[in-house]
Structure 1
Amino acid sequence: MFIRTESLNDYLRRYQITLIILLINTLVMLFVWFCLNGIENPYVVYQLGGLINENVLGGDYWRLLTYAFLHFGIYHYLFNMLFLMVLGPPLEIILGKIKFIVFIFISIICTSILVIIVSEQPGVGASGIVFAIMGYFIFLAGRKDKSLSSFDSKLIIQVTLFSWIGTIIFSVVTEQMVTVSGHLGGFISGIILSFFRTTFKQNNLV
């Protein structure tokens, strides 16, 4: 499930929503980098559409969404896009395109809400989406859902574990609690959405 074996043409044809998210993030990153020369300039990145508490509370509610398509630095962008490229397609197939869009929207909003509540630091990045997908599959792995093979369950558990270790180490070293709160918001939303969908599916409600 998580090991990509299809051709590029098949990937582009089957995983259109994942591709759109990747494309939007890439176009925004290129715009910030080449047009604004601000890929590593926090003022440019955050002011363009970052999640800044006082701005959101002051009425810039669009920032609750736009932050997820901005990245601070090329490595931040590459890590998130790599994870999304691998983890997004399986969930897009499981949920279908419309429900996958709803899933992404909810994960973005839940992430931004927790960041605003917990941290006063500004934030950007698609990490909330990535960790929401992890949370979704972790719930399935925990309940030994038949949609996940034993190999896939072990793989997503290992990936999630190392991702959280990396998150904590990075947050401690850089003193950026926004990273933990952002990832946690997405992760919790993914678990909750996975719980509701599997529960409703068992009762033939979805």
Structure 2
Amino acid sequence: MMMFYRRETFKQFIQRYPFLSLIIALNVIVFLYLGLVDGIWGSTLIVLKGGILPSEFINGEYWRLFTYAFLHDGLTHLVMNMFFLIIIAPPLEVMIGKLRMLTLFLFTVFSTAFFVYVIGSGAGVGASGFTYGILGLYIYIVVFHKGFLDVNSKKIVLIWTVIGWVGTLIIPGISFLGHLGGFVGGFIFGWIAIRQNSLTRW
């Protein structure tokens, strides 16, 4: 059966995918907190709160290389990233386990920051580096572990990947380097950490 159909109740989702649920909850909580307390609902000022901002690294604020992944510059930005995680990330938490899911998150968060800051010298916020890292890892599995995913699931992975990159290229204001950094990070993570016998079938 194609693994991307979501049939869980809210409670079942939390129980089955605790790490993913935590990441989604933290993103939503941070968005609501900054909106309710600081009045920042989708302003580009959000980057000042903890986004990737080269000018602040001079002051030693390297924690921004991590915190940017929990900030979003608008409700649409947040909803799109969280929707993607809810649809396509759950099977991966089962396949690679919670610990490697955490490692994937950290690896792609920092690979995204590397591409945005070191290569591009730019600024940015958002969890999309992690979402593209998930795509990158799925593509690694599709390419190097060909028999692991069923045909329909492979098609969904490829469709989401195409949609993601088309959107990256045509939608204004999206960080191409950020998405590329996450995607490359996810693929490299697969090469380093994933072996056929280390994957749990969905």
Normalised TM-score (structure 1): 0.89
Matches within 5 A, 1:178-189: 179-189=175-185
Matches within 5 A, 1:7-156: 7-43=9-45, 45-156=46-157
Secondary structure of the residue aligned to 1:42 is coil
1:197 aligns with 2:184: no
| 1:16-58 residue CA offsets vs partner (Å, 9 max, x unmatched) | 0000000000000001111111122222x11110100121243
> How many angstroms does 1:120 deviate by?
3.2
Which consecutive residues of structure 1, in runs of 5 or more, have no partner in the other structure? Answer: none
Q: Which has the larger share of helix?
A: 1
| Structure with greater contact order relative to length (CA < 8 Å, sep ≥ 6) | 2
Matches within 5 A, 1:154-169: 154-169=155-170
d(CA) in 1 for partners of 2:31 and 2:119?
Answer: 27
Q: Is the 8 A contact 2:145 2:196 kept in 1?
A: no
d(CA) in 2 for partners of 1:142 and 1:91?
Answer: 16
One-letter code aligned to 2:143 = G
Normalised TM-score (structure 2): 0.91
Identity of aligned residues (%): 32
d(CA) in 2 for partners of 1:116 and 1:57?
Answer: 12
Which consecutive residues of structure 2, in runs of 5 or more, have no partner in the other structure? Answer: none
One-letter code aligned to 2:192 = F
Q: Give the number of equivalent residue pairs.
A: 196
One-letter code aligned to 2:7 = T
d(CA) in 1 for partners of 2:139 and 2:71?
Answer: 26
CA RMSD of aligned residues (A): 1.6
> How many angstroms does 1:114 deviate by?
0.8
